[in-house]
């Protein structure tokens, strides 16, 4: 089966008119249930991430500010969320969700969170709708327990995984690869182990060739675990992304990426990443492609 991790607290109360489409997490859960990708036997409920796990990545002073809801106005502006109790709860739960999904991926080869991919969060600061860097926390958690030796963080969100790059700079056991639009946020990029910058308006064929090529090059290295940040803000109708990838292009991308690692028997933990499509309904569908593709691989092998 394909384990999928979800918690109702992924939906924080930030107001329905907020720029960030927070209700997509609840709608994604409903869609996956409706389409029987989530059933009772493969649904896993996370615990809030522990302080011990958070401290492997984040500075104590920063965690304290989140706990006390005491970010400055400027810090709150950079984060993009109002620092209210439900945002704090959501951040703890979504990070706990990726920690749990990573454990499940080791056991089942594929597992997904229905949130996560908060790649703009740095050790001491939140940025761009990211409070805690869930993937970094989960990676450190696996390493601390010696469950894996070398991790790939493969980030195909349209924005650079800048927080992740900075957190794992010079870390011998974690390799970060980010394929993102050069023009998009953040203006000041960090250095991943590998950054592939895409020109704006790039379309399916060229994009998929670049992804395929990167997978081939990465296969020359040895990894025993992959976090896949499956951002759908590469879509042509995304409000923030600068690329022109179609829905079919995203379907092909997920098939290419996930079957690549699945066939090599490397466990993959899939997380959502960003998505800000003009159509809310289509956005929810786009995010579900990750889970649908994993479901298909597990049940049909292709
Ligand atoms: Zn993004």
The H-assigned helical ranges of 109-221 are: 134-144, 162-167, 204-218
| pLDDT value at residue 30 | 98
Distance 269 CA to ligand 1 centre (A): 18
Range list of β-strands (E), 114-214 = 151-155, 174-181, 194-198
Distance 243 CA to ligand 1 centre (A): 12
| CB 176, CB 157: distance < 8 Å | no
| pLDDT value at residue 301 | 87
Measured between alpha carbons, how far is 203 from 236 in angstroms, rounded to an integer?
9
Distance 160 CA to ligand 1 centre (A): 7
Return all residues near 113 (Cβ < 8 A) that are at least 6 apart: 4, 5, 6, 94, 97, 98, 100, 101, 134, 269, 270, 271, 272
| CB 66, CB 85: distance < 8 Å | no
Regarding pTM above 0.85, the answer is yes
Distance 108 CA to ligand 1 centre (A): 27
Residue spans of the chain under pLDDT 50: none
Return all residues near 77 (Cβ < 8 A) that are at least 6 apart: none
| pLDDT value at residue 27 | 97
Q: Spell out a b/e string for 185-205, using b for 16 or more CB atoms within 10 Å of the CB, else e.
A: beeebbebbbbbebeeebebe
Distance 178 CA to ligand 1 centre (A): 11
| pLDDT value at residue 302 | 78
Distance 113 CA to ligand 1 centre (A): 16
Distance 47 CA to ligand 1 centre (A): 25
Domains and CATH numbers, the chain: 4-300 (3.40.800.20)
Indicate the DSSP class of residue 8: G
């Amino acid at each position: 089966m394909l384990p999928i991790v979800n918690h109702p607290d992924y939906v924080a109360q930030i107001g329905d008119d907020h720029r960030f489409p927070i209700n997509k997490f609840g709608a994604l859960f409903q869609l996956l249930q409706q389409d029987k990708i989530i059933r009772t036997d493969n649904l896993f409920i996370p615990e809030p991430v522990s302080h011990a796990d958070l401290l492997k990545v984040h500075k104590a002073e920063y965690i304290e500010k989140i706990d006390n809801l005491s970010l400055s106005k400027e810090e709150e502006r950079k984060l993009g969320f109002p620092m209210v109790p439900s945002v704090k709860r959501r951040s703890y739960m979504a990070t706990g969700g990726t920690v749990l999904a990573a454990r499940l991926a080791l056991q089942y080869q594929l597992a997904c969170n229905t949130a996560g991919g908060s790649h703009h969060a740095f050790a001491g600061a939140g940025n761009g709708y990211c409070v805690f860097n869930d993937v970094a926390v989960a990676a450190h958690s696996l390493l601390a327990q010696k469950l894996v030796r070398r991790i790939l963080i493969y980030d195909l969100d349209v924005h650079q995984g800048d927080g992740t790059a900075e957190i794992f700079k010079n870390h011998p056991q974690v390799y970060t690869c980010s394929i993102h639009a050069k023009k998009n946020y953040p203006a000041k990029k960090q250095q991943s182990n590998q950054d592939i910058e895409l020109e704006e308006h790039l379309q399916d064929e060229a994009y998929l060739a670049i992804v395929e090529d990167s997978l081939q090059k990465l296969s020359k290295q040895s990894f025993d675990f992959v976090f896949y940040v499956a951002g759908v803000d590469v879509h042509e109708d995304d409000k923030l992304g600068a690329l022109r990838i179609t829905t079919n292009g995203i379907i092909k991308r997920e098939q290419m990426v996930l079957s690549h690692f699945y066939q090599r028997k490397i466990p993959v933990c899939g997380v959502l990443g960003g998505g800000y499509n003009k159509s809310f309904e289509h956005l929810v569908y786009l995010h579900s492609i990750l889970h649908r593709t994993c479901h298909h691989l597990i049940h049909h092998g292709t």
